[in-house]
């Protein structure tokens, strides 16, 4: 049983701020924005260069538009911090030719034709094979070709070329090279960013913005002090069981909630190692923790049936209620996730499209952006939209701060060989008003004064009801695919 959510083709503009001047900062800004195009496809799941990302509201995917080959072919890829391979769909892939598969997995969003590229070369036939925790995957050849993102040209990047796939778009895996799917290790995109002197070290920052934002940004080689609040605090990345670094695992020391009246409830009994994974839609914590939260909120766990946890939409009336995630101990960073990022008003639309919701003790039905797990503990997009995250692969560090949502200003700082800088963002949250589907329009101001370590106003934004224009089709089966294809099965 699976959930198949609608995917939309990205409409993306990349902005390059790096120049050929060797003295200029090496930062590659890549923007992403939510598409408003209707797309009948179904999708299973979920210097500084800047790349724009496309926010797929219903499925949680964030898409970067890149080019591959010579002459360049445009391809839209899911940005995934939970895996390490870049792979693209072959124009002759089974999914792209089979109507039966398309009815189940969705139409291919964008593909690559190796016969049309003069710089294409094959590395190894039939050796690319990748599987994700939601059961989806792809297989084919490993190839090399020119890869361009955010104005940066990466020469001879090794990529998977999927000839067989149950995913209708490729992925941009930007994790540790040690986590590539190949049996033979190879330098992945983050390695080549550094090796080809495009960025100083293997580091980038991720700003997803809020659930209804049109745009967000990933900065390869830099960070933006206008996109976060207060002090950027550093947490060590934890090694895996073999002592290697293969995922962005950090210690979650506490998960509490803060109610409108200031009441704080702690749901953590011990530190939990969690993975920061942009390729995962929801947030997954241990069952024991999740069940305590479900009881407190009167939520109904139907993940074994429809794949959703149901919760009363009335919780959205608690405008200042937050879920507070603290990392690395009592002095570590705290990220406050507003109630409207965790309680998702999407079930009514699913019902209209045929979802058979079980009998529930409440009529105003929403879905919960947090679920229990026994295998992987993942902080996906329902968490990451509230955080500004800096990933330093070279020094094995993560920088975290409260995201300054709906920010329209930018002040980019290069991440040099010394690692994540001691940086402070704005003093408080921008107060912004949005019209769903029309982009961001700030109706307030944010202080440019750095140094404040408060995260006041984490939920002090005016956000309307979601626009469901991008919600196209949902299968009448399970919604288990919300986990997303982000984390690779080892």
Catalytic residues: 80, 277
Those residues whose C-beta lies under 8 Å from the C-beta of residue 317, and which sit 6 or more positions away, are none
Tell how strand 378-379 and strand 272-276 pair up.
Answer: parallel
Instruction: Report how far apart the first and last C-alpha atoms of the chain are (Å, whole number).
Output: 23
CA distance 384 to 406: 14
Helices (H), 187-235: 189-195
**Can you give the C-alpha Rg of the chain in angstroms?**
21
Q: How far apart are alpha carbons 79 and 174 in whole angstroms?
A: 8
Alpha-carbon span 371 to 431, nearest angstrom: 30
Query: For residue 195, what is the DSSP state?
Result: H
Sign of the CA dihedral running 400, 404, 405, 406: negative
Distance CA 60, CA 57 (A): 6
Phi, psi of 277 (to 5 degrees): -135, 105
Task: Report the run of H or E that residue 296 belongs to, with start and end.
Answer: helix 287-297
Q: Is the distance from CB of 480 to CB of 307 less than 8 angstroms?
A: yes
Starting at the edge strand found earlier in the chain, the sheet holding 300-302 runs 300-302, 308-312, 365-368, 343-344
Task: Give, for 104, the enclosing helix (H) or strand (E).
Answer: helix 99-105
Structure token digits, residue 242: 């073999």
Q: DSSP readout, 332-393? A: S-EEEEEHHHHEETTHHHHHHTT--PPP-S-SSEEEESEEEESS--EE-HHHHTTEEEEEET
The DSSP call for residue 186 is: -
Residue 62 to residue 383: CA distance in whole angstroms? 14
Residue 26 contacts residue 200 (beta carbons within 8 Å)? yes
74 in Cβ contact with 65 (< 8 Å): yes
* Residue 276 backbone dihedrals phi, psi, to 5 degrees: -85, 110
Closest Cα partner for 89 from 33, 143, 146, 152? 143
């Amino acid at each position: 049983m699976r959930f198949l959510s609608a995917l939309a083709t990205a409409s993306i503009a990349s902005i390059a701020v790096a120049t050929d001047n060797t003295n200029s900062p090496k930062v590659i800004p890549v923007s992403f924005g939510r598409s408003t195009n209707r797309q009948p496809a179904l999708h299973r799941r979920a210097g500084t260069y800047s790349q724009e990302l496309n926010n797929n509201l219903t499925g949680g995917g964030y898409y970067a538009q890149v080019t591959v080959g010579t002459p360049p072919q445009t391809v839209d890829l899911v940005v995934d911090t939970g895996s390490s391979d870049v792979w693209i769909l072959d124009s002759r892939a089974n999914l792209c030719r089979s109507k039966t598969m398309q009815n189940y997995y969705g139409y291919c969003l964008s593909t690559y034709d190796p016969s049309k590229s003069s710089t294409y070369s094959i590395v190894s036939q039939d050796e690319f094979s990748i599987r994700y925790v939601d059961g989806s995957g792809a297989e084919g050849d490993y190839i090399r070709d020119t890869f361009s993102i955010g104005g940066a040209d990466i020469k001879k990047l090794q990529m998977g070329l999927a000839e067989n796939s149950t995913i209708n778009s490729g992925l941009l895996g930007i994790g540790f090279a040690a986590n590539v799917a190949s049996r033979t290790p190879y330098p992945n995109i983050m390695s080549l960013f550094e090796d080809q002197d495009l960025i100083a070290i293997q580091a980038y920052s991720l700003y997803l913005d809020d659930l209804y934002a049109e745009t967000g940004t990933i900065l390869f080689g830099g960070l933006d002090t206008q996109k976060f609040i207060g002090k950027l605090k550093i947490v060590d990345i934890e090694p895996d069981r073999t002592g290697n670094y293969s995922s962005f695992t950090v210690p979650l020391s506490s998960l509490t909630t803060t109610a409108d009246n200031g009441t704080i409830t702690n749901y953590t009994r011990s530190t939990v190692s969690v993975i920061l994974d942009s390729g995962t839609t929801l947030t997954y914590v241990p069952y024991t923790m999740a069940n305590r939260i479900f009881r407190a909120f009167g939520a109904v766990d139907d993940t074994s049936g429809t794949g959703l946890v149901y919760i009363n939409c009335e919780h959205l009336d608690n405008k200042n209620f937050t879920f507070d995630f603290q990392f690395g101990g009592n002095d570590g960073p705290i990220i406050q996730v507003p109630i409207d990022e965790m309680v998702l008003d999407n079930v009514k639309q699913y019902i209209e499209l045929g979802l058979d919701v079980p009998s529930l003790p409440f009529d105003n039905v929403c879905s919960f952006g947090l679920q229990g797990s026994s295998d992987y503990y993942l902080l996906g997009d329902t968490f990451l939209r509230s955080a500004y995250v800096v990933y330093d692969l070279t020094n094995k560090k993560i920088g975290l701060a409260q995201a300054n949502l709906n920010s329209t200003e930018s002040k980019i700082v290069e991440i040099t060989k010394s690692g994540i800088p001691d940086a402070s963002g704005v003093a408080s949250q921008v107060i912004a008003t949005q019209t769903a589907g029309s982009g961001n329009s700030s109706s307030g101001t944010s202080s440019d004064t750095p140094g404040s370590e408060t995260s006041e106003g984490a939920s002090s934004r005016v956000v309307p009801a979601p626009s469901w224009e991008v919600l196209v089709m949902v299968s009448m089966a399970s919604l288990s695919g919300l986990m997303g294809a982000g984390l690779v099965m080892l």
